């Protein structure tokens, strides 16, 4: 029996949700607003909310100073490439842990999760030296590899959770019908877990898109994504807030648009299996 919720409680929860949403979105809103100000107006005190001279000069200067589309292409290739490679590795691994668990399955899952607790700076020097010696510094291939390894534990954990919600009897029926292991994973398991796979893909594209530590330390110019593009506007002469805001807006706009149009799929995937 569903729990009855009074109208006043619904209104309270709605108001709280709106307040939290506005607080979370406000920094993004302020960044976008600042990008249309001059440098003097960007640092004015008290700051002007809407009554200032709106200008596009920051966007024009950012594009003339930096090749935005090169950084954008690098971000797309690195984020999609690392996510797709991670899914190719993680789907069979999550299948094995979900449907053919062994004595050490839980320990392996916890070990993978524990790798996310290691500070990245702790392994920066050995990874940097490996990349230097193998010619992977400042390459898209190198960043795809390192971001795949960084996000692989999250991908496997998410897929493992989704796969555990799929009845094992369906896979057994496929085996009885003569399906091979490859056919079982590709034609039976994967289509049933599409919502979970889609949400995993979207979440990891966002994580890879926003990754700054590795992209700043392992790239220089050729493979630099949008995170390095933003960082270039912090110079020894000081912070140029209006131009930095314009660069940040140009960097986050694609992922904001992706998140807006895919929010229904993302929520559906994140709640996959919550209600039986």
| Res 2: pLDDT | 47
Q: What is the pLDDT of residues 88-99, one digit of tens each?
A: 999 888 888 888
| Res 276: pLDDT | 42
Other CB atoms within 10 A of residue 80 CB: 16
Q: Which tokens go with 252? A: 């986050």
144 φ/ψ sector (left φ>0, alpha ψ -120 to 50, else beta): alpha
Could you tell me the residue ranges of all domains in the chain?
Answer: 7-57, 67-233
Q: Can you tell me the mean pLDDT for 179-196?
A: 80
| Res 274: pLDDT | 47
Nearest to 35 by CA among 226, 211, 252: 252
Q: What is the pLDDT of residues 110-152, one digit of tens each?
A: 888 888 888 888 899 999 999 999 999 999 999 999 999 999 9
Host H or E run for residue 217 = helix 213-218
**DSSP structure class, residue 99:** H
What's the pTM? 0.81
Q: Assess if CATH 3.40.50.300 describes domain 67-233.
A: no
Q: Are the beta carbons of 245 and 58 closer than 8 angstroms?
A: yes
Nearest to 42 by CA among 239, 249, 248: 239
- The span from the CA of 186 to the CA of 181, in Å, is 9
Angle at 239 between CA 233 and CA 241, to 5 degrees: 85
Q: What is the pLDDT of residues 193-221, one digit of tens each?
A: 887 888 888 889 988 998 989 999 999 88
Predicted confidence (pLDDT) at residue 239 exceeds the cutoff of 70: no
- The span from the CA of 158 to the CA of 161, in Å, is 5
- The span from the CA of 199 to the CA of 83, in Å, is 12
- The span from the CA of 216 to the CA of 41, in Å, is 30
Q: Are the beta carbons of 113 and 132 closer than 8 angstroms?
A: no
Other CB atoms within 10 A of residue 97 CB: 21
- The span from the CA of 21 to the CA of 51, in Å, is 25
Q: In residues, how long is the chain? A: 276
Q: Which tokens go with 57? A: 């000069």
Nearest to 244 by CA among 81, 78, 79, 61: 61
Which residue(s) pair with 238 in the sheet? Answer: 235
Q: Are the beta carbons of 241 and 231 closer than 8 angstroms?
A: no
Whole-number mean pLDDT of the chain? 85
């Amino acid at each position: 029996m569903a729990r009855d919720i009074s109208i006043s409680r619904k209104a309270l929860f709605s108001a709280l949700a709106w307040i939290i949403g506005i607080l979370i979105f406000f920094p993004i809103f302020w960044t976008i607003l600042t990008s249309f100000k001059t440098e003097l107006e960007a640092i004015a005190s008290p700051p002007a909310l809407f009554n200032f001279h709106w200008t596009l000069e920051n966007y024009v200067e950012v594009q003339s100073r930096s090749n935005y589309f090169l950084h954008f292409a690098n971000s797309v290739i690195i984020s999609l490439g690392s996510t797709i490679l991670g899914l190719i590795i993680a789907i069979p691994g999550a299948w094995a842990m979900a449907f053919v668990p062994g004595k050490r399955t839980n320990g392996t899952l916890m070990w993978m999760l524990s790798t996310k607790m290691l500070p990245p700076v702790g392994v920066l020097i050995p990874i940097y030296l490996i990349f230097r010696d193998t010619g992977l510094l400042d390459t898209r291939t190198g960043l795809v590899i390192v971001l795949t390894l960084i996000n692989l534990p999250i991908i496997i954990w998410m897929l493992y959770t989704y796969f555990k919600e799929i009845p094992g009897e369906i896979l057994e029926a496929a085996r009885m019908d003569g399906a091979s292991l490859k056919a079982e994973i590709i034609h039976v398991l994967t289509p049933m877990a599409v919502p979970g796979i889609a949400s995993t893909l979207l979440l990891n594209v966002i994580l890879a898109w926003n990754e700054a530590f590795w992209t700043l330390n392992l790239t220089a110019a050729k493979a630099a994504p949008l995170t390095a593009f933003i960082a270039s506007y912090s110079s020894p002469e000081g912070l140029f807030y209006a131009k930095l805001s314009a660069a940040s807006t140009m960097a986050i706009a694609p992922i904001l648009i992706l998140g807006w149009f895919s929010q229904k799929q993302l929520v559906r995937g994140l709640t996959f299996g919550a209600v039986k």
